Amino acid sequence: MANNLPPFSLADMSGRDFAFPASGAGQTVVCFVKEDCPTCNLVMPLLQVLHQNGAIRVLAPGQTAEGNRILVERHGLTLPVLDDSTLKVSFAYDVETVPLLLLADAEGREIERLVGFDRDEWRAFFDRRAPEVEARWDALPKWRPGCGSLTQDPIIAERLRAESENSPLRARRIEIAPADDMHEFLFDQGFTDGLPVVPPTPERVLRMLGGTRRDSQEVVVKMPPNYAPATVEKIAINAVLAGCQPAHLPVVLAAIEAVCNEQFNIHGVNATTMGASPVLVVNGPIRERVGLNMRLGALGQGSRANAAIGRALRLAVRNIGGARPGGTERSTFGNPMKYTMCFPEWEERSPWPPLHVERGFKPEDSVVTAFAMTSGPVLCVDQSSRTGRQVAGSIGLSLEAAHHVRSHNSSDALVVVSPEHVDTLWRDRFSKDDLREHVQRVTARPLSELVSDDDVGGGFPPERFAAMPPDRRSRRVPKFAAKENLHIVVAGAEAGKFTSIFHGWAGGAMGSVPVSRKIGD
């Protein structure tokens, strides 16, 4: 019984559609080819002669779009060279070797097939099907093997198989030998941050993808430094590695969108020798829904959601973007935050507008904000102040130590105020803006006090200071270039008169700007 070949419709180089089988077309030759195959190039003139004869319709699905163009130009082809660059038709035909020539009747039933090039077989085919076609057979080699179809590439084959099965998974599967330790294998392949990871089995990845409505093959971002396409599926794989639950995935997706924004400059954050790393702050209803800890120990260990979400971001930047220590990751010392740093704001415990509302979102929105921080959390310890002004002053002097005491006009800092400190501040009705302004006041120093000298370096260059007019030398310079560079949230346990501080990296066009993204489904 004749084999029914799969029907298809493909366009040629000019965009004309060709269907197989086609009503009234009679017999058709379908020959799968690719440009970099010498044997395919050998048979293209024969196919062209067969096409020009007109007795049999000839279609040549080519496996790359650019290769098709080259074949047409190289051989002066007028036969339809069809665009099968998606390889879906080649996969449906289970093409292992090209050229693969199939002769079909008008209903699409296979009559004959030729694989590779055997001169006697091809000559006999022409003698049977188109004896009037003349070819210089003696000038052709007796035999040439074909080349492997692109569908046999392991990575491509996995993708095509998943598509044919309507599976959301397209990533290449890695087979691990039965005697191998899976965890050691993942270490050896460089998929980890130095700590064990959860093996991303297909079942776990599918379960993770259930945490979002987004299509698994949607490209979320092109991730620096390699600008690799970060699909939802690839991000889900890294979320599995990090130990996330499916409910965490929307937060991870939004965080990756934030850090891959040009303003955030994740490439610079990774490459700087200062050791900067993203710090994520989550706001809105999703905090409780996914189990983020905003209370006791919010900045430390013990919370799966806090730890896993921050770690998933870091692993994705490593495994998808290619930022690895010793490569484009150039931190002098490294930074514990390069493992993870994610926490929510305790909005309900704060008298102030939450961070995301300050940044233009609605209170009911769930939002993640990414900051590029070089160090922290550093404690400001003030257990004796009784007024908001005193606490604000203590926070200011603690902030003055960021990077270097004499380094003023700094960029960003993230201030995490504890409930006890915020109570003291609010008793005197200190707003967030009042706190910012007081920090700027108490840290303002005459420029003359910020100049490097024989005892202490790291300050304003003395030669530039000497060239200034006297009135500029006495100008008072606050710690931060603008009060808006101070970002303030509330978190932590009810007990403890402390404020936690993260020191920022360079800001503006030369560094990183905090970026917020709304968390979707």
**Within a domain: residue 168?**
no
Query: Quick one: 465 exposed, middle or buried, by C-beta within 10 A (0-12, 13-18, 19+)?
Result: middle
Q: Are residues 304 and 392 in the same domain?
A: yes
Q: Are residues 403 and 262 in the same domain?
A: yes
The answer to whether the beta carbons of residues 449 and 474 sit under 8 Å apart is: no
The answer to whether the beta carbons of residues 91 and 78 sit under 8 Å apart is: no
From first to last of the 521 residues of the chain, give the pLDDT tens digit.
468 999 999 999 999 999 999 988 899 999 999 999 999 999 999 999 999 998 899 999 999 999 999 999 999 999 999 999 999 999 999 999 999 999 999 999 999 999 999 999 999 999 998 888 778 898 999 999 999 999 998 778 877 877 777 778 878 778 888 888 999 999 999 999 999 999 998 889 989 999 999 999 999 999 999 999 999 999 999 999 999 999 999 999 999 999 999 999 999 999 999 999 999 999 999 999 999 999 999 999 999 999 999 999 999 999 999 999 989 899 999 999 999 999 999 999 999 999 999 999 999 999 999 999 999 899 999 999 999 999 999 999 999 999 999 999 888 999 999 999 999 999 999 999 999 999 999 999 999 999 999 999 999 999 999 999 888 888 999 999 999 999 999 999 999 999 999 999 998 878 999 999 999 98
Of 138, 154, 170, which marks where a domain is finished? 154
**Within a domain: residue 397?**
yes
Strand partners, 147: 98
Q: Are residues 193 and 150 in the same domain?
A: no
Q: Are residues 216 and 72 in the same domain?
A: no
**Within a domain: residue 2?**
no
287: phi then psi, degrees, rounded to nearest 5? -55, -50
Q: Write out the residue range of the structural domain in which residue 84 sits.
A: 8-154
Q: Are residues 351 and 220 in the same domain?
A: yes
**Within a domain: residue 133?**
yes
Q: Are residues 294 and 336 in the same domain?
A: yes
Q: Are residues 197 and 117 in the same domain?
A: no
**Within a domain: residue 428?**
yes
Q: Are residues 150 and 200 in the same domain?
A: no
Q: Are residues 139 and 231 in the same domain?
A: no
Of 137, 154, 171, which marks where a domain is finished? 154
Q: Are residues 301 and 396 in the same domain?
A: yes
CATH number at residue 44: 3.40.30.10
Q: Are residues 126 and 188 in the same domain?
A: no
Name residues whose C-beta falls within 8 Å of residue 494's C-beta, 6 or more positions apart in sequence. 295, 296, 419, 420
**Within a domain: residue 171?**
no
**Within a domain: residue 292?**
yes
Q: How many CA within 13 A on the CB side of residue 34?
A: 19
Which pLDDT does position 410 carry in this prediction? Answer: 81
Query: Quick one: 399 exposed, middle or buried, by C-beta within 10 A (0-12, 13-18, 19+)?
Result: buried
Q: Are residues 140 and 244 in the same domain?
A: no
As for how many domains the chain has, the answer is 2
**SS3 (DSSP) at 255:** helix
Task: Tell me the C-alpha to C-alpha distance, in Å, between residue 409 and each of 15, 273, 425, 443, 480.
Answer: 59, 20, 25, 11, 5
**Within a domain: residue 473?**
no
Within a 10 A sphere around the Cβ of 206, how many other Cβ atoms? 17
